[in-house]
Chain A
Amino acid sequence: MNKTGAEDLGDFYPIRPECQADTPKPRFKPRAGKTLSERRWNAAFSEDGHLNIEKVLRRIQRGGVHPSIKGSVWEFLLGCFDPNSTYDERNQLRQHRREQYSRWKAECQYMVPVIGSGKLITTPIITDHGQPVIDYSITDDKGQQVNSSFSDKRSIQWMLALPQIGLDVVRTDRALSFYESEKNQAKLWDILAVYAWVDNDISYVQGMNDICSPMIILLENEADAFWCFEHAMRRLRENFRSSASSMGVQTQLSTLSQVIKIVDPKLHQHLEDVDGGEYLFAFRMLMVLFRREFSFADALYLWELMWAMEYNPNIFSLYEKPIAESDKSAAPMLNNKLLKQCGKFERKKVKTGCKDQESALAVFLVASVLEAKNKRILKEAKGLDDVVQILNDITGNMDARKVCKEALKIYKKYLSKFWNAVVSSLSTLADSDLDLSFTANKYSVRMEGNVIAAALEKIEHVKSPEGEVLTMPFLDLCKTVLPVLDNFGPAMAPAKSDIGGNISRLENMYLSNQSEFNHLYMIVRSEIESKKAKSSSSCTNALLWLTRAMDFLSELFCNLLAHPDWSMSHVALKLAPDRKKFMSVVGVKGDDVSDMEKFSGRFSPLLEENHKFLASVGMDNLKA
């Protein structure tokens, strides 16, 4: 063991001597007292094998994982195993998975015998129409490399993907001595081939080789490496989904665009000016999770920091459920004990009730890289090419931990700016420097009919004759008003989907027992009884945030009424340069604001009632 606190990594991921000059030197060094060591890792298990994940996560988030144990730690971080299981249970599961892998591999082998032979394919074995390509260098089996009895679409698609996998495998991490061995290359090829067969929806896309390569180095058993990769892909696979007009990763890119727009409007504007508003320059970072921007060892360090920060104790059970059941809302709720077992990023996310995949930590990592280069980009980038150039220069020069730390900061900044804008009153909004440009022209097309008139009609039916707030009519009313948010441009899209999420959470609860939950507040009361109300994924929480979001809209209406000359209003300067335009989209014609006055006069007391009720049961001050 090393006493200086840092040791050399050269022995773990040796570089071929002839490549040493061109390969960036790793910055990561295992540090005593910070990095999760083998000794500490072993000590984190109870006698029968339960893992104290909380303790382990704390370490990893501070200093990564020692190379000697990365493989087994990653299996937990990626959700292959439940820390709350015994050695026996895990061994059984591992055995089961190994068998499953060999069954799949055998299927593949039966179609294409090269699989599992220690060799790989880089040229087409069938034509686009599924006819076997005759290779005269192969003497046996008539020069064919495929079992031609398979001609169904899935098999053909898969066989067509194989040469691409081969072409990439021979180019994967070739500077590492590990991949000098043909056997190891073939292992990478086999795993990617089996994956492409099993996940035929995604199949194989360039870049998956970069994700898979470390797993093979870290986990000796091929099936174990496959499952580790397969679990990593569960987080990443949507990025690799492609159609003729788009690629999945573009969803994350547009989130990135929103994030930068909110945390650094100046930078966003500059990027738009140089035609980089789509953030395609960040494409590679998200696709292969910074494998190209960091040295091999540093990328692994970054990944484990990231996965530790994103860790959720429910991950294993979520993954183990059959796909049909893995509805997000069905996730077990997190109590305080479980919340402690979340990574730093995930905890924040859970607390704010954010569940979307698009705002993964990786997005904020890119944001943090951009922010680190903010000055240079603003000063030097006159075109998209300059942006790419500046980002190219980061290769091998970034500190993984610093990037993660900054990413968390940006996430916090983003959340606070974002939620401030949505839920706080308009005066707060006006004081924040958030610029929500009013783009009525662009978005008004989505507003159909007269929102205000429709809302006014619906508000009549929200209460029962006894004065109780009725669940469905209330939700329906919220839905009617919600499109108003569209007028604030794409920055509001996440808010809107979040509000939509809250509405559907309440709706689902209602549908689960219509008679019991006919009255809105009964949902809250029942959650309080079962002690679920305080959970971030509770309906109580949903109602609170929904009410807060509606407060925002209601205030907006009040503000419009209070300032007939909107251009004089403090808020208007920030929100909407043209009051008339806004009025016309919400359905106010000319200066006839009577409907809006009526609606506003009834809506805000209704929301106030919600707050009063929530306060009466001690739930009105749940924090994000």
Chain B
Amino acid sequence: MARRPDEEYDYLFKVVLIGDSGVGKSNLLSRFTRNEFCLESKSTIGVEFATRTLQVEGRTVKAQIWDTAGQERYRAITSAYYRGALGALLVYDVTKPTTFENVSRWLKELRDHADSNIVIMLIGNKTDLKHLRAVATEDAQTYAEKEGLAFIETSALEATNVEKAFQTILSEIYRIISKKSLSSEEPAPASIKDGKTIVVGGPEPNTKKACCTSS
């Protein structure tokens, strides 16, 4: 069966949203996929998901975002969903230091269960709660650089940087995918069309941090 025209896409990227309970994962997702924010949102049970199709580097990408429960008890279920994920958005709450301290646990979790090439982006959410901020941008920035993660601060409530965060991680995934396909096609470049769209002279890997720091 043919897909409906609006469902046509060049790439399907699976991304997981992880992080402590209550940091705003589900609202980041609803902000990105439906441009909605729900003050009455409920806790995520197990795994939920949403998609959005968008343009990334001139290609149509269907982003399939899996939203997971934050509680440790759910780990056995949620980690099953890391399989096949090309990206992970690791979210903490800038007003809750423990959620930032736990980031290292989540990284370990990813390293244990996810693909080793997974693109990881650290997200400090809830920047709208300015008077309650308890995690300094610089600290998170430094940490992200040390761990080789992309980093951005967002507010799902005010819709600040949410689009940018997703765009950045999807672009990064695209870059890696196209590089991979380029190298695998080296012996016989089968598809010139594909070859053209790969941004060979694109940003160097280390510039990714610069391009997505919070403004």
Q: Chain A: residues with CB nearer than 8 A to chain B? A: 19, 22, 122-124, 164, 167-168, 171-175, 205-207, 209-210, 240, 242-247, 278, 280, 283-284, 287-288, 292, 379-380, 385, 388-389
Q: Chain B contacts of A280 at CB under 8 A?
A: 46-47, 77, 80
The 9 lowest CB-CB distance pairs between A and B, nearest first, are A174-B40, A283-B46, A167-B22, A284-B45, A242-B73, A206-B71, A168-B43, A205-B73, A207-B45
Q: Chain B contacts of A210 at CB under 8 A?
A: 42, 45
Quick one: closest B residue to A384, CB to CB? B49
Evaluate contact between B45 and A288: CB separation under 8 angstroms: yes
Docked pose: A385 CA to B67 CA in angstroms: 12
Query: Does B39 belong to the interface (CB within 8 Å)?
Result: yes
CB-contact partner of A287 in B45, B48, B64, under 8 A: B45
A307 shortest CB reach to chain B, Å: 21
The digit string for B32-72, where 1 denotes a CB below 8 A from any CB of A, is 00000011111111111101000000000000100001110
Quick one: closest A residue to B23, CB to CB? A167
Given A124-B98, A379-B1: A283 and B73 interface contact (C-beta under 8 Å): no
Cross-chain pair count, CB within 8 angstroms: 81
Evaluate contact between A247 and B39: CB separation under 8 angstroms: no
Docked pose: A165 CA to B95 CA in angstroms: 19
Evaluate contact between A385 and B45: CB separation under 8 angstroms: no
Listed A/B pairs (8) with beta-carbon separation below 8 Å: A122-B22, A171-B22, A206-B44, A206-B74, A210-B45, A280-B46, A283-B46, A284-B48
CB-contact partner of A171 in B41, B46, B76, B80, under 8 A: B41
Docked pose: A51 CA to B30 CA in angstroms: 49
Q: Chain A contacts of B64 at CB under 8 A?
A: 385
Given A124-B98, A385-B64: A283 and B47 interface contact (C-beta under 8 Å): yes
Chain B contact-residue range equals 20 to 34
Evaluate contact between B46 and A385: CB separation under 8 angstroms: no
Q: Chain B contacts of A292 at CB under 8 A?
A: 42, 45
CB-contact partner of A22 in B38, B43, B49, B77, under 8 A: B38
Docked pose: A283 CA to B77 CA in angstroms: 9
Evaluate contact between A283 and B22: CB separation under 8 angstroms: no
A116 shortest CB reach to chain B, Å: 23
Further contacts, 14 of them, CB under 8 A, given A210-B45, A380-B1:
A124-B98, A164-B21, A164-B71, A167-B22, A171-B42, A171-B43, A174-B42, A175-B40, A205-B74, A206-B44, A283-B45, A287-B46, A379-B1, A388-B48
Q: Chain B contacts of A278 at CB under 8 A?
A: 80
Quick one: closest A residue to B71, CB to CB? A206
The digit string for B18-35, where 1 denotes a CB below 8 A from any CB of A, is 000110000000000000
Evaluate contact between A244 and B76: CB separation under 8 angstroms: yes
Q: Chain A contacts of B38 at CB under 8 A?
A: 22
A274 shortest CB reach to chain B, Å: 13
A267 shortest CB reach to chain B, Å: 17
CB-contact partner of A284 in B46, B51, B96, under 8 A: B46
CB-contact partner of B98 in A123, A173, A388, under 8 A: A123
Q: Chain B contacts of A243 at CB under 8 A?
A: 76
Q: Chain A contacts of B44 at CB under 8 A?
A: 206
Quick one: closest A residue to B64, CB to CB? A385
Given A280-B47, A385-B51: A245 and B42 interface contact (C-beta under 8 Å): no
Quick one: closest B residue to A281, CB to CB? B47
Given A206-B71, A280-B47, A379-B1: A246 and B76 interface contact (C-beta under 8 Å): yes
Query: Does B75 belong to the interface (CB within 8 Å)?
Result: yes
A479 shortest CB reach to chain B, Å: 33
Docked pose: A246 CA to B75 CA in angstroms: 8
Docked pose: A109 CA to B162 CA in angstroms: 42
The digit string for B75-89, where 1 denotes a CB below 8 A from any CB of A, is 111001000000000
Docked pose: A221 CA to B44 CA in angstroms: 29
Evaluate contact between A388 and B42: CB separation under 8 angstroms: no
Quick one: closest B residue to A245, CB to CB? B76
Docked pose: A280 CA to B44 CA in angstroms: 14
Docked pose: A19 CA to B40 CA in angstroms: 8
Given A280-B80, A287-B45, A385-B64: A174 and B39 interface contact (C-beta under 8 Å): yes
**B43, B48, B74, most chain A CB atoms within 10 A:** B43
